[in-house]
């Protein structure tokens, strides 16, 4: 029932939201454009309040006394630390729990009992699990329990990485703040859309905006599937696929507003069986020589970690936003925490009063 | 000397208490009925203060700046998280230290030096260790040192699990609040009393109350030993032993005020050598069909984790207190922290003033 | 460039300090005597403020909202806990990150990207690594980045253990407070100066003071190298080397102001190949019978952990400062945090106003 509701666009909101606020955060598609705009505003308010001692003190009172369990079955230091920093900015206490298997299943306990027991000590769960369905199953266990608490998926199997796509959207919106926002922009995505959850989640979220065109660059074997391509076309977004980065930059470089680079190592895997080489084949590397083919205001992003596909030479390009993405991950996750616990209005109001945000009434 | 004092009912208090407050918490028997009543009152005060923003703020000031070391040699996520949540509720900072072996003994250091060194950075220790005597040895090292700090055993080998029995008593007292308290009640305990430390510790603590009768249900091979049976009888409590759950429920179900279910997997072990099966033999499973044999107000408890012995069907029984036990573990541990650090009076006074507790002068 | 600057006494300060405050703490030699005196004063101010509830509240506001990453590749519970307790005393939040390898390098990421990414969520890094150059490399990555944060080395390979030597100096200064300070004192160091980083770092720092003489006791094979001996002599400090502890105590015991004992197990290694024995050969053990050979006010120190080289009998000697060293480690690390973040003046001013420190204007 819960799983089916998740796949049904019309019933999804009923199960994943409470009082109009996200409660179980499981897939990118659950957010409306309005949800995204508000989340981004809240993230900006938090980021700016954090710059001053008073603002920091205010923020740390927002979720003071709240306890967040970070339940990670997969080692993922950077994502976990980003979530914990976000919780800390709002004054919530974090606990990292990694051995759900040791602690319960070994003794024959059900996942439902484990989740319910551990959740008893917390006000919110952030979870990452190698099994795609773990976050859904845990949410359902909480949904049915007498003491539910909100849950955020921090990456579930290969399927989705919701908060990564939220930080990417936030970074694009931030980068285009003086250029009319995300609407009307042309975006290039390098990567294996079929398997890279960051690139895939971003593509889905971009359909919430009036994007002009998306260029996908990958080997033919890893082109986006027809479902995704049709889904994007139905949103009146131009879609183009390419087999190498050089030609598309020579033909379309000047028109690009942003490039989203990810690792694409399939070709290498194919050519060197036995000897596993890390890194991306040259056709998908953003070589320094391409610099003259793109505009200075073209935004350059990467979800990290990177190997060779985005060389260090790019770090002084005016559009290089990679390190800002990392910090933005912390701000958007804090915004998500605040929104779930109905503290976002208070945060935006404080920031507006201090002239750190545009007054929404003046828009 | 310390070990001997522990076994001597008359000298115990001198070593384990300071200024009338528990200092080293090692065995259930160290608490008097008066201690237990006060602990339960403090737990209730904390639980109720935590419901409101003001109360939460007050609680988080109580042990603000105190540092608790959770020294666990055995993985036990749920117990550790319960203690850390309890510390957090009162504003104390927790650190989880699990590798006492790596950190010291590997280098040839004595346990006494390790405990003394680590304790230098803390105000309190909570410890769980696979060696029965570790908590006693660590307490003695602190007792002799120039900078002692309190210590709570969170489970020591197979012998005792003090705070589990405290939360069980608290849950019974809570459940019987409108029915005259624990005195006069009849309680059934399913389990291997010889080896199950939760069941055994509870049986000891029940003798502090004027219980009418205790029914033990287990295979004959795992009946309670004569020492325990005589100990209970000496307290004027009726004791009965049974070999299966069905018959005792049919004969005495209506008279039961509470059932404490634990896993009892010995029979299975015996019948299926080689193939280790988790779970409890059918004679000790609380089948759904027994529901008509007990009263609606019969309290149903389990220390968790459970396998098959307490089926999900029971979760809507009016007396099902299992999830409340989990939360009560957090409250009673917070009460224990507060009592050790002489903050319990202040907490109960605040709760009384806000009409969250009965005024003790009105009793 | 950064590495070379580190070795160059005249350029070191330019890279390791900012606005006259330590920013990258990598080697003992980077501190001037003035730096050390101020650090010790700050440590004393923190230690005394911590005794009272008001002082504790004040301290916990000093770095409230700051986040410290403790990045330890080597298990070292005691050092990590000391740093975390120090951070906690000033209200900063700590996160322990141990799997930098899992989190990044496994995926082919550079150390520079890993450090930059993780540092995005923090305001300060404390790091201990089995590779001698890790802390330098990480500092350089931060130095070059657009968002640098301070870094403290908590032990790098076999080379240095800066904060251990700071706590040792603080303990000496504390012990000699009524006897004119460290200047003019005679100090004996037992240990393998070539490989024991605690003993070696201390020897370097002692040259910042007008020490009368240092007696080194070790097997001939592990005598201090000529570089170190000449370095000390150049500072007008008498240097003497000895092959066993007994004779030097009989000849010079009465003149010693402090003894710094460390493990010296080389001889044992040599004599018992195959069978690795922990502990120090008898020539370097401070036997109880030596007690009559030294003065009652002779300070006795050990960096811990100890095996047999400093027997328990010494714990009631009036000069036994070993446990105080452990606590002092916490205080001096807190002082270092405060100094790095420009909060030390405020702390000393508060302590002076409360008459907990001598007024510096009255000196």
Q: What is the pLDDT of residues C131-148, one digit of tens each?
A: 888 899 999 999 999 999
Please, are residues C6 and C140 in contact by the beta-carbon 8 Å criterion?
no
Residue C24 pairs in a beta bridge with C151
CATH number of this structure's domain C162-322, picked from the four choices 3.40.640.10, 3.40.50.1370, 3.90.209.20, 3.40.50.720 = 3.40.50.1370
Please, are residues A308 and A285 in contact by the beta-carbon 8 Å criterion?
yes
Q: Which of C56, C75, C306 sits opposite B65 (nearest CB)?
A: C56
Please, are residues A228 and A193 in contact by the beta-carbon 8 Å criterion?
yes
Residue A174 pLDDT: 95
Cα separation, C248 vs C186, in Å, equals: 13
Q: Which of C76, C81, C306 sits opposite B109 (nearest CB)?
A: C306
Point out the residues of chain B with pLDDT beneath 50.
102-103, 267-268, 270, 273, 363
Please, are residues C328 and C300 in contact by the beta-carbon 8 Å criterion?
no
Q: Which of C56, C81, C307 sits opposite B95 (nearest CB)?
A: C81
Nearest CA-CA partner of A1 in A125, A139, A132: A139
Neighbour subunits, C (≥3 Cβ pairs < 8 A): A, B
**Bond prior to A305 in cis (omega within 30° of 0):** yes
Interface size between A and C, measured as CB pairs under 8 A: 63
Q: Which of B102, B120, B147 sits opposite C75 (nearest CB)?
A: B102
Q: Which of C103, C116, C147 sits opposite A77 (nearest CB)?
A: C103
Please, are residues C44 and C319 in contact by the beta-carbon 8 Å criterion?
no
> Does B76 sit within 8 Å of A99, measured CB to CB?
no
Q: Which of B75, B82, B323 sits opposite A99 (nearest CB)?
A: B75
Nearest CA-CA partner of B340 in B41, B19, B72: B19
Q: Which residue of A has its CA nearest to C101?
A: A77
User: E strands of A142-246, at which residues?
Assistant: 151-156, 186-190, 213-217, 238-242
> Does A65 sit within 8 Å of B57, measured CB to CB?
yes
Distances (CA, A) of A141 to A147, A157, B326: 10, 19, 16
Alpha carbon B302 to its chain's center: 12
Best mutation target, B63, B81, B276, B307, to test chain A (most A CBs within 10 A): B81
Q: Which residue of A has its CA nearest to B53?
A: A65
To the nearest whole Å, the CA of B347 is away from the closest chain C CA by 18
To the nearest whole Å, the CA of A60 is away from the closest chain C CA by 8
Q: What is the pLDDT of residues C220-267, one digit of tens each?
A: 988 998 988 999 999 999 999 999 999 999 999 999 999 999 987 654
Helix segments in chain B, DSSP class H: 2-7, 12-16, 33-49, 53-62, 77-89, 100-103, 111-119, 134-144, 162-175, 197-206, 226-234, 245-252, 266-271, 322-340, 344-353
Would you state the structure tokens that stand for residue C292, as one six-digit string?
Answer: 């009559």
> Does B307 sit within 8 Å of A117, measured CB to CB?
no
Supply the mean pLDDT for chain C: 90
The CATH code of domain A2-161+326-362 reads 3.40.50.1370
Cβ contacts of B154 within 8 Å, gap of 6 or more = B70, B72, B76, B79, B80, B83, B126, B127, B128, B161, B163
C78 chain-B contacts, CB cut-off 8 A: 103-104, 117-118
ipTM confidence: 0.93
Cβ contacts of C268 within 8 Å, gap of 6 or more = C277, C279, C280, C281
Euclidean distance between the first and final Cα of chain B, in Å? Answer: 41
A306 chain-C contacts, CB cut-off 8 A: 109, 113
Q: Considering only CB atoms, which residues of chain B are within 8 Å of chain A?
A: 56-57, 60, 75-78, 81-82, 84-85, 88, 278-279, 304-307, 323, 326-327, 330
Residue A267 pLDDT: 43
Cα separation, B358 vs B348, in Å, equals: 10
C107 chain-A contacts, CB cut-off 8 A: 278, 305, 307
Residue C323 pairs in a beta bridge with none
To the nearest whole Å, the CA of B99 is away from the closest chain C CA by 8
> Does C76 sit within 8 Å of B95, measured CB to CB?
no
Cα separation, C13 vs C25, in Å, equals: 11
> To 5 degrees, how large is the angle CA A100–CA A102–CA A104?
65
To the nearest whole Å, the CA of B154 is away from the closest chain C CA by 21
> Does B305 sit within 8 Å of A113, measured CB to CB?
yes
Nearest CA-CA partner of A338 in A107, A86, A50: A86
> Does A146 sit within 8 Å of B323, measured CB to CB?
yes
Cα separation, C44 vs C47, in Å, equals: 5
> Does C65 sit within 8 Å of A323, measured CB to CB?
no
Please, are residues C243 and C283 in contact by the beta-carbon 8 Å criterion?
yes
Neighbour subunits, B (≥3 Cβ pairs < 8 A): A, C
- State how beta strands C258-261 and C299-301 pair: parallel
> Does A102 sit within 8 Å of B75, measured CB to CB?
yes
Which CATH architecture fits A162-325?
Answer: 3-Layer(aba) Sandwich (3.40)
B108 chain-C contacts, CB cut-off 8 A: 278-279, 305, 307
CATH number of this structure's domain B162-324, picked from the four choices 3.30.1490.20, 3.40.640.10, 3.30.160.150, 3.40.50.1370 = 3.40.50.1370
> Does B56 sit within 8 Å of A65, measured CB to CB?
yes
Point out the residues of chain A with pLDDT beneath 50.
102-103, 267-268, 270, 273, 363
DSSP run (H or E) holding C128: strand C124-129
Interface size between B and C, measured as CB pairs under 8 A: 63
DSSP run (H or E) holding A67: strand A67-72
A118 chain-B contacts, CB cut-off 8 A: 77-78, 81
Residue owning tokens 């095996």 = C307
Q: Considering only CB atoms, which residues of chain A are within 8 Å of chain C?
A: 56-57, 60, 75-78, 81-82, 84-85, 88, 278-279, 304-307, 323, 326-327, 330
- Across A130-134, B223-227, C123-127, C164-168, least confident range: A130-134
pLDDT band at residue C276 using 50, 70 and 90 as cut-offs = low
Q: What is the DSSP letter of C253?
A: G
pTM value is 0.94
A117 chain-B contacts, CB cut-off 8 A: 78, 304-305, 326
- State how beta strands A17-18 and A21-22 pair: antiparallel
> Does A122 sit within 8 Å of B78, measured CB to CB?
no
B304 chain-A contacts, CB cut-off 8 A: 109, 113, 117
Residue owning tokens 């006795």 = C300
Cα separation, B132 vs B156, in Å, equals: 5
SS3 content of chain C, % helix, strand, coil (to 5): 50, 15, 35
Q: Which of B99, B107, B121 sits opposite C82 (nearest CB)?
A: B121
- The yes-or-no answer to whether C2-161+326-362 and C162-322 have a common fold is yes
Cα separation, A129 vs A121, in Å, equals: 20
Q: Tell whether the model's pLDDT for residue C70 goes beyond 70.
A: yes
Per-domain residue ranges for chain A?
Answer: 2-161+326-362, 162-325
Would you state the structure tokens that stand for residue A361, as one six-digit string?
Answer: 């009434």
User: E strands of C218-273, at which residues?
Assistant: 238-242, 258-261
> Does C67 sit within 8 Å of A307, measured CB to CB?
no
A307 chain-C contacts, CB cut-off 8 A: 107-109
> Does B57 sit within 8 Å of A64, measured CB to CB?
yes
> Does A76 sit within 8 Å of C114, measured CB to CB?
no
Residue B246 pLDDT: 96
C85 chain-B contacts, CB cut-off 8 A: 67, 121-122
To the nearest whole Å, the CA of B88 is away from the closest chain A CA by 8
Q: What is the pLDDT of residues C18-58, one digit of tens each?
A: 999 999 999 998 999 999 999 999 999 999 999 998 999 99
> Does B82 sit within 8 Å of A121, measured CB to CB?
yes
Cα separation, B59 vs B54, in Å, equals: 9
Nearest CA-CA partner of C91 in C130, C126, C46: C46
Residue B72 pairs in a beta bridge with B128
Residue C8 pLDDT: 87
Q: Tell whether the model's pLDDT for residue C209 goes beyond 70.
A: yes
């Amino acid at each position: 029932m819960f799983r089916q509701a998740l796949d049904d666009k019309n019933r999804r909101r009923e199960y994943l939201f409470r009082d109009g606020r996200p409660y179980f955060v499981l897939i990118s598609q659950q957010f409306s454009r309005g949800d995204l705009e508000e989340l981004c505003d809240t993230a900006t308010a938090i980021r700016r309040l954090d710059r001053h001692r008073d603002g920091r003190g205010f923020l740390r009172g927002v979720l003071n006394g709240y306890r967040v369990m970070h339940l990670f079955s997969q080692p993922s230091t950077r994502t976990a630390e980003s979530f914990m920093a976000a919780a800390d900015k709002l004054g919530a206490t974090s606990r990292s729990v990694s051995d759900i298997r040791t602690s319960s299943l070994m003794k024959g306990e059900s996942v439902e009992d484990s989740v319910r027991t551990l959740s008893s000590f917390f006000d919110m769960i952030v979870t990452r699990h190698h099994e795609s369905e773990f976050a859904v199953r845990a949410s359902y266990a909480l949904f049915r329990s007498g003491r539910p608490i909100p849950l955020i998926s921090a990456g579930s199997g290969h399927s989705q990485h919701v908060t990564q796509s939220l930080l990417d959207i936030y970074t694009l919106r931030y980068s285009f703040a003086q250029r009319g926002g995300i609407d009307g922009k042309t975006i290039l995505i390098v990567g294996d859309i079929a398997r890279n959850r960051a690139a895939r989640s971003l593509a889905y979220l971009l359909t919430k905006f009036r994007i002009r065109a998306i260029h996908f660059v990958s080997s033919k074997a890893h082109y986006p599937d027809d479902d995704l391509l049709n889904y994007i076309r139905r949103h009146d977004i131009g879609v183009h696929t390419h087999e190498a980065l050089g030609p598309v930059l020579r033909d379309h470089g000047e028109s690009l507003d942003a490039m989203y680079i990810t690792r694409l190592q399939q070709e290498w895997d194919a050519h060197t069986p036995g000897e596993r080489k890390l890194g991306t084949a040259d056709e998908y590397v953003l070589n320094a020589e391409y610099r003259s083919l793109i505009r200075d205001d073209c935004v350059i992003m990467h979800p990290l970690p990177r190997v060779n596909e985005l060389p260090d030479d790019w770090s002084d390009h005016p559009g290089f936003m990679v390190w800002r993405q990392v910090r933005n991950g912390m701000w958007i996750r804090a915004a998500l925490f605040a929104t779930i616990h109905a503290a976002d209005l208070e945060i935006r109001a404080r920031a507006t009063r201090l002239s750190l945000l545009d007054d929404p009434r003046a828009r």
